[in-house]
A and B are shown apart, each in its own frame.
Chain A
């Protein structure tokens, strides 16, 4: 029964429609040429190509020097000494100078985080390894950390690299263990304040509740208290993790009814002996990659998730085999799972950029505008609303974000900004007809082609076809850059465009 749940899709059934689904979910879609290319590879080669992205060219360095790491660096000992002297002297103007300098650094750092946001958006749009970026986004939402709390852009950058470097790595040893050594997370969940005799439970709690086991699953309040003791002394200095032995509680702890002089790494090992750990993260991956499940999951869905969970456990918490099994499965390509996820703001923007290739790419302020639009739609990179990350699903959509979504697409197609009424100069006119296939004269065929490719549907809805034909009629049925842009404007404003 369980073996059945992971049954592979019959390779003969892997067509353009399913290839598009795979591209949408394992990344951010693709243009018609890319869809056809993936379809032609055949199921297994296509999944390999997408998942084994380390074999394809990388987007370029995320080297440590990509951003300035010294803006928020801690003061040197001689600086500390001079601060102390200033404070002791009570010299008001010198104190004021220090305050101003501090504010300048903070301002500079806020500029850097804004640049980082644009940097990541560009990567999301342009990287030849879309799955790598998509998973980086997934882990960012899972191990959510917000810049506004930690006020250190370089730590956010380091964390982003952690997620990218181990996007398909080992959940236990790379990611969970990595996150308890990660400066941004240590700061965000106050583990820098967690010391022997004065424990802070924040990281211990979220480590189980949000990162590995699920709320109230498989652990008690006492396990949190004892786990917090194990994590004492896991601290940071500047940009590095540091284990402060004098802050660490070396006493015996009792976690999950086992006793020992555990430290934070032992705590992680213990967590991975719990039952819930094999399915908790798989459920989350399922909601992100397969179906965001507005309703109680069916039995079929449950047995699929348990089967992937078993595989995940057998393969010692490696993400790659689990994800591969999902992308190869018949279940993944079922009708109920295609177009079942409400696009996140990032997915909406990046997928549109990749599929339509609008001229906005050439606009100077494009990336800035897109980060603002994404924020107005409820998703700001490096600033998830809380440690829970983004709730996703239907919470993306309300009457206000609906208009923002339509207007953002309008911006991509026409250059009209979504956050006001100013138009940006259009440096290169949109050759919209390039999104068309070989058929460029028959209105009916053009309309059907656009609906199929842009909405990812097998057969376009008859009402939608006739609405678009109505539009072409007002344009004397001519197919040109202007009218194709008009068609795309309407298609991207359809409720079904919000799905992928």
Chain B
């Protein structure tokens, strides 16, 4: 069974047999996935992942526990990396950013304040509002990988996001985590599911057979008809759960709808039960914080979900960015810190790795409106007990630029490779299409 899965995946998404453009792919919907599919329907359920009891799931590699979780957070819009990890030792930084530069630690010269200093690091500091992240770093729980990007950078939000989601330079094909699930040999044909918070499931989680469960808030993630009439609730359940009996083998539109309905019902029950408990710690306000609180509660409830996906928007700071970016940094640092503390109280820090990325960084020079335009390389964050804490990799040069943009030092797929192999116990070559040199971000 597992081999069968494997084979199918490599020809349908990573191989050259796929001549479909992204556009056709999208026009035909995710449905095109099923073209390559001869897998019986019962194997294709995403919700089955979160229905499975713990213990029935094992990873393919010895020594890697089977209940490890990856939380992915996307900073949407393109995070200004140079105002996240501040190169305060660089003259060029101040020359290029007269209105928006952040001073060296202790400095009072700049409106934007002074960078936080990182122990043992010279010339680089963190955005003044990233106290939460600094705290995690000093605790040995957070790593910042500097200057992450990819060759021939694309500056469109849409395309660059797709490139990060697929791990492919064209941005076409299935998502890297979707492919991970497609390729997982768990001893059962269906691996554990993934859950995204939001009204869309991100491309990263779409595989040939794997689909994510997604929801925005738990209040909206249920049928509201039961409050009117008791008997309706039971019959509604019958209608939306009897799915498999009605399914045929041709993957018709109706089959697809029946499957998604079933996924929705099953995951709604478990997710709502999971998030109904009060968290062990109180979370600050804000979009990301809310999402991480939901995710923490699902982890606490031991849903066998292996990947959670959250996002924070607003990073497309073309104008007057000082305040808006500072607010985002505050939200980000505080949310990550609280989340990690919550996991600590749960006793789960050892099994959760959090990875934070943005589709691109921003240009070195500020623009005429106190903001920054789309750029290239930017830092990624990794948080968890197993990370090699501190500032990793080299900060990109501010003097050697390409068309006014930073040149990346670490390919993001090197980070993916390390996460896939050392954290998820998967074969990164199959998923990423080639063997990337693992970046040294996790302690093995």
Q: Which residues of A contact B (CB under 8 A)?
A: 215-216, 287, 292-296, 339-342, 376, 378, 386, 388, 391-395, 397-404, 406-407, 410, 414, 416, 418-421, 461, 463-464, 467-468, 470-471, 474-475, 486, 489-490, 493-496, 498-499
Contacts and interface: CB of A to CB of B under 8 A. Distances in A.
Contacts of A498: 257
Nearest to B261: A495
A366 B225 CA distance: 19
Contacts of B257: 342, 397, 495-496, 498-499
28 contacts: A215-B24, A292-B29, A294-B28, A294-B32, A294-B34, A342-B253, A392-B29, A394-B29, A394-B30, A399-B213, A399-B264, A399-B267, A400-B198, A402-B264, A406-B225, A407-B224, A414-B225, A414-B228, A419-B220, A463-B242, A467-B235, A467-B239, A493-B225, A493-B236, A493-B240, A495-B257, A495-B260, A499-B254
Nearest to A483: B229
Given A410-B224, A461-B246, 7 more contacts: A215-B24, A391-B26, A400-B198, A403-B221, A416-B227, A421-B219, A486-B231
Nearest to A498: B257
B29 A403 contact: no
Contacts of A295: 28, 31-32, 34-35, 251
B224 A400 contact: no
Given A393-B27, A400-B214, A471 B235 contact: yes
B256 interface: yes
B216 interface: yes
A461 B34 CA distance: 25
A468 B231 CA distance: 11
B16 to A, nearest CB: 16
Contacts, number: 162
B261 A402 contact: yes
B122 interface: no
B231 A474 contact: yes
Contacts of A467: 235, 238-239
A496 B246 CA distance: 11
Contacts of B23: 215, 388
Contact of A493 (B30, B222, B223, B251): B223
A339 B257 CA distance: 12
Interface of B: 21, 23-24, 26-32, 34-35, 47, 158, 198-201, 211-216, 219-225, 227-229, 231-232, 235-236, 238-240, 242-243, 245-246, 251, 253-254, 256-258, 260-261, 263-264, 267-268
A340 B29 CA distance: 14
Contact of B28 (A293, A341, A463): A293
Contact of A294 (B31, B227, B261): B31
Nearest to A295: B35
A407 B217 CA distance: 14
Contact of A495 (B27, B201, B254): B254
A340 B268 CA distance: 27
A293 B37 CA distance: 16
Contacts of A406: 223, 225
A395 B214 CA distance: 13
Contact of B263 (A341, A399, A461): A399
Contacts of A376: 199, 220
Given A399-B263, A467-B238, A489-B232, A394 B199 contact: no
A395 B245 CA distance: 24
B220 A397 contact: no
Nearest to A376: B199
Closest 4 pairs (CB-CB, A-B): A294-B31, A394-B29, A393-B29, A495-B257
A498 B200 CA distance: 18
Contact of A463 (B34, B232, B245): B245
A403 B222 contact: yes
Nearest to B266: A399
A178 to B, nearest CB: 24
B31 A400 contact: no
Contacts of B256: 294, 394, 397
Contacts of B32: 294-295
Contacts of A216: 21
Contacts of A471: 231-232, 235
Contacts of A463: 242, 245-246
Residue among B34, B220, B268 with the highest chain A CB neighbour number at 10 A: B220
Contact of A394 (B31, B220, B227): B31
